A and B are shown apart, each in its own frame.
Chain A
Amino acid sequence: MNWHGLKAIYFHEMDRMRRTLFQSLVSPFISTSLYFVVFGSAIGSRITEIEGVSYGSFIVPGMIMLTILTQSISNASFGIFFPKFTNTVYEILAAPLSSFEIILGFVGAAATKSLIIGTVIICTAGLFVDLHIEHPFIMMFFLVLTSVTFALFGFIIGMWADNFEKLQLIPILIVTPLVFLGGSFYSINMLPEFWQKVSLLNPVLYLVSGFRWSFYEIADVSIYTSLITILFFLFTCVLIISYTFAKGYKIKS
């Protein structure tokens, strides 16, 4: 194992966050505050409680998931896309690093950044609502698993993309709508029966539901179903990455 190489990639990627520290940390703080103002105060004043939880508190897990998903994807996709774009990827390919070490470095850094931002959001949320986490370890487990899984997904997007438009295509057209329609800001029980069934086709629903369960023990689907879904997605991402990276797809001719 090339530990120094792995460390080099990891800290090199983390350094990007350090260089834009203000933007990286202040931006989630501001957007979380805005969500609380818009959803928590404006809409929350009309929806007082959902399954015994105040609306302000109810949206916290969904908000964290929304950020974790989008940040993990964008950090990891940009992490591998940028060296491709600037042609500095030659250095990584020529170094004595295995595919596993390269992926671990990039994905590890992207997931770490998401976790830091997730923590910022939890702390910010604590300023607006009375936050109570029923199962902190399960919450952490979900948080780490989701960060890693979507960082892997982002890495796939970054490998596939050969321009900035493609880099944004999947996150904007697929991921963000799925997150918003995945019960981040509502319970699917509030929807008509037909749309409840349609929502069950949305994989993000299972993540948000499982994550919310760790906070308040309320969920749209069983916690086990949520866990199996995220593990299935993780496994699929690992398989795709292992195959494509080994073949050098869009990186190595």
Chain B
Amino acid sequence: MLKFVIFTSVLAISTSAIELTFELPDNANQCFYEDLKKDVDSVFEFQVVTGGHYDVDLIIEDPNGKVLYKDTKKQYDSINFKAELDGTYKACFSNEFSTFSHKIVYMDWQFGDRNALHAAVTQGAHAMSQLENYAVSIGDKLRTIDDYQTHHRLREATGRKRAEELNERVMIWSLGQSAVVVFIGIGQVFLLKSFFNDKRTRY
């Protein structure tokens, strides 16, 4: 009985995913580490939600410091890799090239065997019935929908934040321009007057 519990729970652990959305200040560097076992598949996805030109640098390194992925100024990407060694894998986001725009970055790191999701969740091993298989495949499809939804949500967030920023800018610019027009209008008059005043005093 105890063995079964451990077995099934290990299965539940062996596949896991973490989604994080975090803020990356200007000139900052943020690293995440994950201990992976040999031959474990990983899917690493990221997307810049807001800030600057929506780009970020990313480096993924294996435990020996071998670079598995390195790219600069990417807006989004999806990386698949298989762990060749046991140890700590490192993913570092860097915004060092940007001096003033802080960014919001979404990342999703899935590791482990995806098929483990199909394994029995309850105790005891048994053959799956047709109905159970259907349930599993519906579950898979729903997970895909969820994934698409996440991406859609992030895109929408990017668009929405841009629109909010635009709204703000239009507002500020309008006020600024009003002030400039009035200022120049008054300035012109006084400048013109000063020309005539000068002539009078000189001759």
> Do chains A and B interact in one complex?
no
